Amino acid sequence: MAVVAICLLPLLVAQTTAPAGRAYEALRAKDYDSAIALFREAIDGAPANPILRQDLGYTYLKAGENEAARDQFAEALRLDPSAERIALEYAFLCNETGRTAEARRTFDRIRKSGGPDARIVAGQAFENIDRPLAEGIARWSAVLAGSPQDYSAHLELGRLAEARGDPGLASEQYLAAWELRPGERQLLLDLARAWQQAGRIEDSRAALIAAARGSRPRVAEQARELAPQRCPYAGEFRRALDLDPANFEMRREFIFLLLEVKQTDEAERELRILTDMAPTDMLAAAQLGFLLLARQDRAGAMIYLDRVLKSGDAELVARVRAVLKAPPTLKERSAVAVPPASAKEMGERSYAKAYLKDAARYLEAAHETDPTDASVMLKLGWVYNVLHQDDIALGWFDQARHSTDPKIAAEAGRAYHNLRPGFARWRFTVWALPFYSTRWNDLFSYGQAKAEYRIGNLPFRPYLSVRFLGDVSAGVPVETRGAQPICCLSEKSFVTAVGVATRYWHRAMAWAEAGAAIRYSSIPDPAFRTQDYRAGVSYSRGWGRLLGSQEPGWFAETHGDGVFVSRFANDVIAYSQTQVGYTLRPFAGLRVQLYGNANITADSKRQDWANFAEAGPGLRFRWSSMPPAVVFSVNALRGTYLQTAKQFNDVRVGFWYALTR
């Protein structure tokens, strides 16, 4: 009795590997978007695996995303500091993406402590970076010797010194440039970075505190990401004000902190400085007046309170008129006034009612108010996605996926990778699945060579395909009824076809093809050439510690397929395969999984041979020195035909391999 399900197994397995295996398959197919998404999914299950990080980095390189590749190589190097090849890749990418200091530092380390070949490469790269830096430092130092007030010379010398690994000289020059032009607030970030590298942590933090409270929104946002996620201490405010004494907003915030901790004398001194800096700031004048009233200095208080009464600020005037009942300190206006519904709330309401343009306007206003709110960024991504402005949506998803909220980051990350374009025009794939079955005492081999072509941004690719489906048996029918063979172990054919396959969507894809089967054996059908039409859908999902994981743990995988084959009386076969088991800790490069199988197959015509269930233990393994797409498996199965209740035993031993150019 024949087993068409076995004949169709390569069609099913080709679509149903775990995320890491499917990532390598997509990479070889040059489907970089899918490969990146699958690598990230595999990394979520094995965050301490440097190989996955390394290969994701190479995939980003192929996709032209050098900065993303650099960051993945940095993670791989952190996990495996002895990986010289990754260290070199990382250093070259740092140099290409503007991180000259890190590139120089990495090359310097490798040329001193790496292997012979790595030392040669790193040494030459180090010289290529270091020599121009040294010459530039000498040149700009000479300029400053004659023109010590030259802002550009200080700035260029600081940048060259930082790139050459001299944070002391860099911070000295950045500080001189800042003193010449205190309005150039980007210099505060440069100062913070140089002081951090020089070990001057408190000075670095003061520069970030000052930069985060200024009139340049972009600089302030960058500084907030780097500064401590808390309110600065009084000492930190003082150090920051020494560096940036004209920072009006920072001084105001410092004053409210002093009032909160009941340091009224120091708060009064800072308020006097603030009112001298900004005579039109009525809030500061009122605050100072109330402090003076609190310590019974009515004459001094009225100097400032009269200024408020003449200002026309209705809210403050009312407070001054009620001075005898007023508290000795004021709250900020935003805390006193009862605001209307916030821009974020209005944006969410508009989105819920499908007023998408209004939602975009309100949410962008909310983002300006609080640039760190990742939920607003995520919602903006979805708004522009629904508006079919995916180029804008992609930017918002990219920002939101870096959120510290894991739920927001995960959702934004998935959306980002689903939208990000970048597919190869042509890709050529070859895969093979040989295995031995004790049930049939036969060696089977299935494979496919496929050439796919991308047409614009269409969600599918046409392709040309040649499949092989065969075994080494002598061609004896599996089972006969009278004189008619029911089927044989395989189709013993080469199947040429033209087809179309969709991209993956939520872990599912579909394909269809039309062609002809060319037989190399007269069994089971003497016809040399037969028309062949096939189509299918596939879905797969994995959880836990999959085969690529560096950590042991439980895992589960499920794969489901539906396949139509015209040659079997237009039959449709549904196939489900599930494994649940445990991934062992890698040992000497060997990765092993032990699991239980639960498989079921059924067809639309309810044929005996196509309706069965099977279960049993399995073993899957590979060595890290092998090509990533090679996976060996051994499965011992006990099965039952669902129509006849006939049972069978089978041990299947085989491996899977794929190659793409």
pLDDT per residue as tens digits for the range 626-640: 776 788 999 999 999
Judge if 591 and 639 occupy the same domain: yes
- Please give the pLDDT value at position 588: 77
Number of domains forming the structure of the chain: 3
Give me the torsion for CA of 40, 41, 44, 47, rounded to 10°. Answer: -50
What average pLDDT score do residues 35-41 get?
89
Q: Which residue is listed with tokens 């590979």? A: 622
**Is the omega angle on the peptide bond into residue 524 within 30 degrees of 0, that is, cis?**
yes
The confidence score (pLDDT) of residue 481 equals 38
Q: Which of 371, 386, 419 is the last residue of a domain?
A: 419
Same domain flag for 495 and 619: yes
pLDDT (tens digit per residue) in 311-351: 777 777 777 666 534 334 444 433 333 343 467 777 787 77
pLDDT in tens, 471-521: 887 554 444 433 334 455 677 888 999 999 987 777 788 999 999 988 877
Contacts of 229 by beta carbon, 8 Å cutoff, 6+ apart: none
Question: CA dist 400 to 65, 85, 250, 430, Å?
Answer: 18, 32, 28, 38
Same-domain status, 632 and 546: yes
Residues 391 and 525 in one domain: no
Bridge-partner residues for 561, per DSSP? 538, 575
Q: Is 450 in the same domain as 587? A: yes
* Whether residue 312 is found in the same domain as residue 354: no
Confidence of residue 423 (pLDDT cuts 50, 70, 90): very low
User: Residue 527 has what pLDDT?
Assistant: 60
Using pLDDT thresholds of 50, 70 and 90, give the confidence band for residue 216: confident
Would residue 549 count as lying in a domain? Answer: yes
For residues 581 and 545, the answer to whether their CB atoms sit within 8 Å is no
CB crowding 128-156: b at 16 or more within 10 Å, else e: ebbeebeebbeebeeebeeeeebbebbbb
Domain identity same for 391 and 313: no
Residue 397 lies in a domain: yes
Which of 644, 444, 375 lies closest to 5, judged by CA? 444
Q: What is the pLDDT of residue 640?
A: 94
For 268-311, write each residue's pLDDT tens digit: 888 888 888 878 888 888 878 888 877 778 778 788 877 877 77
Identify which of 141, 125, 46, 138 has the alpha carbon closest to the alpha carbon of residue 93.
125
Find the domain containing 414 and state its range: 348-419
More confidently predicted of 457 and 654: 654
Whether 241 is covered by a domain: the verdict is no
Query: Is a pLDDT exceeding 90 seen at residue 413?
Result: no
pLDDT tens for 555-608 read 899 999 999 988 878 889 998 999 999 999 888 778 899 999 999 999 998 888
- Span 110-134, average pLDDT: 89
Is there a domain that residue 615 lies in?
Answer: yes
Predicted pLDDT at 382: 85
Rounded distance between C-alpha atoms, residue 474 and residue 472, angstroms: 7
User: In the chain, what is the straight-line distance between the N-terminal and C-terminal CA atoms, in Å?
Assistant: 39
What is the Rg, in whole angstroms, of the alpha carbon atoms belonging to the chain? 34
Q: HSE-up of 162 (CA within 13 Å, CB side)?
A: 23
pLDDT at position 342 is 62
Query: How does the average pLDDT of the chain come out, rounded?
Result: 81
Our CA dihedral for 396, 100, 162, 166, rounded to 10 degrees, sits at 140
Q: What is the pLDDT of residue 21?
A: 85
CA distance 562 to 604: 10
Query: 């996955």: which residue's tokens?
Result: 52
Judged by phi (left if over 0) then psi (alpha if -120 to 50, else beta), residue 579 lies in beta
Which of 419, 449, 464 finishes a domain? 419
DSSP label of 330: P
Classify residue 161: in a domain, yes or no. no
- Per the DSSP assignment, residues forming a β-bridge with 468 are 447, 494
Residue 227, in any domain of the structure: no
CA 229 – CA 227 distance, rounded (Å): 6
Residue that finishes a domain, picked among 419, 440, 472: 419
Q: Report pLDDT for 101.
A: 86
What token pair was written down for 253?
């915030």
* pLDDT (0 to 100) of residue 420: 58
Q: Quote the pLDDT of residue 534.
A: 92
What's 566's DSSP letter?
Answer: G
Report the C-alpha gap between 232 and 12 in whole angstroms: 59
For residue 334, what pLDDT is reported?
A: 39
Query: In 3D, which of 38, 131, 51, 3 has the Cα closest to residue 641?
Result: 3
- Residues 445 and 570 grouped into a single domain: yes
- Of 364-368, 459-463, 531-535, 606-610, the one with minimum mean pLDDT is 364-368
Please check whether residues 565 and 482 belong to one and the same domain. Answer: yes
Confidence grade of residue 354 (pLDDT, cut at 50, 70, 90): low
Q: Please, what sign has the CA dihedral across residues 16, 19, 20, 22?
A: positive
Same domain for 369 and 325?
no
Q: What is the pLDDT of residue 8?
A: 43
Does 493 share its domain with 442? yes
**In this structure, is residue 200 part of a structural domain?**
no
What's this model's pTM, rounded to 2 decimal places?
A: 0.44
Residue linked to tokens 């013993």: 492
Query: Does residue 214 lie in a domain region?
Result: no
Whether 195 shows a pLDDT value over 80: the answer reads yes
Write the CATH number for 321: 1.25.40.10
Do 470 and 559 reside in the same domain of the chain?
Answer: yes
Whether pLDDT at 42 is above 60: yes
Mean pLDDT of 45-66: 89
* Residue 15 binned pLDDT confidence (cut-offs 50, 70, 90): very low
Q: Please determine, for residue 407, whether its predicted confidence score (pLDDT) is greater than 50.
A: yes
